[in-house]
Amino acid sequence: MGEMYEDLLRFFQESDLGSNIQFKFIDVFEDDLKGYDTPHTMFKNGFALPLVAVNGVVRFYGGISESRIYDEVKGC
């Protein structure tokens, strides 16, 4: 998962949105999930990792499509 996150981070750093967004990687196997109720519930209910949230709302799961995430962020 960390490698996909790094690729996404690099993609956005090279985009026109690079200086306007913040990223946070949460390892569901290592990190404390307190305060992350929705992703924790989704993971427990079988939604495939990774979960990708935009403005605190999970928008994607099961993979990272840089272009789809870019379009979602650009539309905010």
- Spatial distance between the Cα atoms of 16 and 66, rounded to a whole number of angstroms: 13
Percentage helix, strand, coil, to 5, in the chain? 40, 10, 50
- Please name which of 26, 51, 31 lies closest in space to residue 41, comparing C-alpha atoms: 51
Question: How high is the mean pLDDT in each 10-residue block of the chain (76 residues)?
Answer: 92 94 88 85 91 93 96 93
Hey, where are the domains in the chain?
Answer: 2-74
- Spatial distance between the Cα atoms of 4 and 63, rounded to a whole number of angstroms: 9
Q: What is the pTM of this model?
A: 0.83
Q: Which residue, chain included where needed, has tokens 């390892």?
A: 27
Predicted confidence at residue 64, as pLDDT, reads 95
How many Å from the N-terminal Cα to the C-terminal Cα in the chain?
25
Predicted confidence at residue 27, as pLDDT, reads 87
